Structure 1
Amino acid sequence: MAGTDRTVETLAGGPAIVLVEPQLGENIGMVARAMANFGLSDLRLVAPRDGWPNEKARAAASRADHVIDAARVYDTVRDAVADLTWLLATTARPRDSVKPVRGPKAASAALRTRISAGQPAGILFGRERFGLSNEEVGLADEIVTFPVNPAFASLNIAQAVLLMSYEWMQSGGEEGAEEAPRFAPAEAEPAEKGDLHRLLDHAEGLLDRLGYFRPPERKVALSEKLRTTLTKANFNRMEVHALHGVLKHVELKLNKDES
């Protein structure tokens, strides 16, 4: 549908949109177009199948060139979200995880609150064919799922991004907004995902040395539960550094005992 007004300043900002191993360039282009429709601009691609840049993506973006040109490519999900402090994972399937689950409206309101406070946040979208793995969902703080027909719950990636982009823009409206409190406690600086992942790697490595993961075939499941538990805590930067200090003390004692 026509109607683009080139005299109006392009909206930008909002949460990062992270696409995990997107396949067709056309799908990436339609995602970029959906983002531009609702004022999003931070597109991150994890190992796109057909490489990047991609002219089919640009053609399908329908002049959302500012999103396509600024898109960044990463080798892994962890790299793509390392600078974020809060992450949502989209999924249509129930998971064994005990992470909080939100609908798109509540999720967008939570994103708006955090981003307005200067905390970088993002939304993780899975592969066109089978979505996100349990490990990838485990990197997120919360899950967002869409109220669709359970008998036909599959959305294509552009539809999913369009829904979240629309709710993001809607969350910026004034209608129904609660009166702001007169004062609020000081906000602790949230930890970046990269720092949190290094803490989790450190903890897992020490537990492995101590023989925690028994029997060996249960290691993956136990590791996922540990990472989910620690991610839910939503540690701030100071807490992550403090926990690193604790682990380093344990590591020094372990090295001494083994020498």
Structure 2
Amino acid sequence: MTGRDGGADIGPIGAFSPVVILVRPQLAENIGTTARAMANGGLFHLRLVAPRDGWPQERAWYASSGADRILDAAQVFDSVDEAVADLHHVMATCPRPRHIVKTVMTARGAAAELRAISSRGLRAGLLFGPERAGLDNEDMARADILIRYPLNPNFMSLNLAQAVLIMAYEWWMACETTPPRTLMTNETHVATKGELENFLDHLTRDLDACGFLRNTQKRPGMVRNLRHLFQRGEVTEQELRTLHGVVTELSNGRKARQKQD
């Protein structure tokens, strides 16, 4: 192909990661955006079954946003049987059940199954149908498992790349270790209990000095409330330094006003 610079580094390409098989894809742009979606989720093996406009097609590379190597290595077959002949398991996306007696899984369940298959050194394929009508009954008859996405029942329309991206995302997340929640602290750190206690001592001293805690009966509860406030979140060391400065400046301003009076 012309007009390409090799694209982004999308490896490593796992020998046993699932193969994405596009059955009779109609538009080159959809093949390109599918490759982009695959690269997002760590799926790098692409097969095309009887693409309507032939292959290769330059527009696919332009639409792939740098996932060139997936398209460079894409294999073309005349039939689904030929495309799945060397695979051990085949799953097919199925937007509409068609009275077929077969196991149906969600994308998440299928991704876990695919990880288990891959860990055993077996190869699996994911069938995606043509943009307009999806897979027909003959295509789905080649699959061991059907995959159905539990989306809004009143609007389940997906384009080809979106359908592939859902599976790619679930494949990636099946082994992703990123915690579901984290606090981004950049160059500072979450304050230790000692640092927090030092600030609370500073704050309490100045509140005593200005008379805010003059009610001796209410003072313990007020101090506890302040403590609960700062204990509730993960205050950073930088934030505490800022608060130290705020308290000091308020104290200095009060002292200056007292001298003027």
Structure 2 equivalent of residue 19 of structure 1:
22
- 2:108 aligns with 105
Deviation at 1:63, TM superposition (A): 1.0
Which whole-Å CA distance do the structure 1 matches of 2:159 and 2:105 have between them? 20
Q: TM-score, normalised by structure 2?
A: 0.63
Residue 4 of structure 2 is aligned to residue 10 of structure 1: no
- Contact conserved, 2:91 with 2:125, CA < 8 A, in 1? yes
Distance 1:166 1:123, change over 3 A: same
Contact 2:92 2:145 survives alignment (8 Å): yes
Q: 1:42 aligns with which of 45, 55, 67?
A: 45
**Paired residue for 1:187?**
none
5+ residue gaps in structure 1?
A: 177-259
For 2:123 and 2:97, locate their aligned partners in 1 and report how far apart those are by CA, in whole Å: 27
Equivalent residue letter for 1:142: I
Q: CA RMSD in A?
A: 1.8
Compared CA separation, residues 68 and 9, structure 1 to 2 (3 A): closer
Q: SS state of the match for residue 149, structure 2? A: coil
Pair 1:142 & 2:120 matched: no
State the 1:174 CA deviation. Answer: 5.2
Structure-2 change in CA distance of 1:60 and 1:9 (3 Å): closer
Gaps of 5+ in 2: 1-6, 180-261
Structure 1 counterpart of 2:97, from 75, 79, 94: 94
Q: Is the 8 A contact 1:11 1:40 kept in 2?
A: no
**Residue of structure 1 in register with 2:239 after alignment:** none
Which residue does the alignment assign to 1:55? 58
Counterpart in 2 of 1:165? 168
Which structure has the bigger radius of gyration?
A: 2
Amino-acid identity (%):
53
Counterpart amino acid of residue 158 in structure 1: A
1:124 is paired with a residue whose SS is strand
State the alpha-carbon separation in 2 of the partners of residues 172 and 70 from structure 1.
25
Match of 1:68 in 2: 71
Q: Could you tell me the TM-score, scaled by structure 1's length?
A: 0.63
Aligned twin of 1:128 = 131
Query: Which letter maps to 1:64?
Result: A
In structure 1, what is the Cα distance between the partners aligned to 2:156 and 2:42? 26
Secondary structure, in 3 states, of the residue corresponding to 1:101? strand
